[in-house]
Amino acid sequence: MLDAVGPRLRAMRAQRNLTLAEASEETGISVSTLSRLESGQRKPTLELLLPIARLHQVPLEELIDAPETGDPRIHLKPHVHHWGTVLPLTRRPGGIQAFKMVLKSSTGKETPEPQSHEGYDWLYILNGKLRLVLGGNDFILKPGEVAEFDTRTPHWFASATSEPVELLTLFGQQGERLHVRARPKRQS
């Protein structure tokens, strides 16, 4: 399995049009070490692969065990919690992350416990109704509605009804905001 790492590293670097010197500067790994890794003359170690994975913005597992070719399906791994299921839709570390969430039905008697943390969140409701408590406000969002907010503002959300709610969320760990661009209206 490790024998295939070198050619994969070379292909990833070439795809991004990076020289060994540029990759060395970004990762802090010497040019000669990178060259030996790519040619298979040096065995990859975790210490070497971590900065390379960050450089190419791919999960470490992708460097070690490339996905099989020919099968376009993505095998997502859901995370099940007592309040619902989270399905990561993004596979690269860092930057804005995408998730599909399915929140369990509500009794309507839950007491919101708003939390705050670094980041910026964008929510799009697919099905059901979402109750969003944001700062001192209490909202009910319906399918097709969107909310975005700085997660340093105390917030809490759950299904607003006895039905589950499905939503897409984009989350920026360091407070990255989404930039929505639309075509300008044509002048008459």
Q: Which domain CATH number covers 23?
A: 1.10.260.40
Burial of 165 (0-12, 13-18, 19+ CB in 10 A): buried
Residues 56, 87 within the same domain: no
pLDDT tens figures, 103-150: 999 887 788 999 998 888 999 999 999 999 999 999 999 999 999 999
Number of domains in the chain: 2
Calpha distance 145→143 (Å, rounded) = 6
Residue 115 lies in a domain: yes
CATH code of the domain in which 89 resides: 2.60.120.10
Match 């070719």 to its residue by tokens: 69
Q: What confidence category does residue 78 fall into, taking pLDDT thresholds of 50, 70 and 90?
A: confident
Calpha distance 115→134 (Å, rounded) = 10
Residue 131 lies in a domain: yes
Task: Render the burial of 95-132: b for 16+ CB within 10 Å, e for the rest.
Answer: ebbeebbbbeebeeeeeeeeeeeebbbbbbbeebbbbb
| Beta-strand pair 79-81/84-88 | antiparallel
Residue 71 lies in a domain: no
Half-sphere exposure of residue 61: CA atoms within 13 angstroms, side-chain side: 5
Residues 45, 88 within the same domain: no
Number of residues written out for the chain: 188
Pick from 30-39, 60-69, 96-105: least confident:
60-69
Contact 159, 108 (CB under 8 A): no
Among 64, 87, 111, the domain boundary falls at 64
Distance of alpha carbon 150 from the chain centroid: 17
Of 122, 118, 139, nearest in space to 130 by CA: 139
Is the full-model pTM beyond 0.85? no
Residues 41, 113 within the same domain: no
Among 64, 92, 112, the domain boundary falls at 64
The CA-to-CA distance between both ends of the chain, in Å, stands at: 62
Query: Domain limits at 159?
Result: 79-172
Residue 154 has a pLDDT of 94
Residues 51, 103 within the same domain: no
Residues 47, 127 within the same domain: no
Residues 50, 97 within the same domain: no
Residue 188 lies in a domain: no
Residues 122, 145 within the same domain: yes
Give me 68's structure tokens: 């099989």
pLDDT tens figures, 37-46: 999 899 888 8
Residue 185 lies in a domain: no
Residues 88, 128 within the same domain: yes
Residues 53, 83 within the same domain: no
Q: Give me the amino acid identity at 102.
A: V
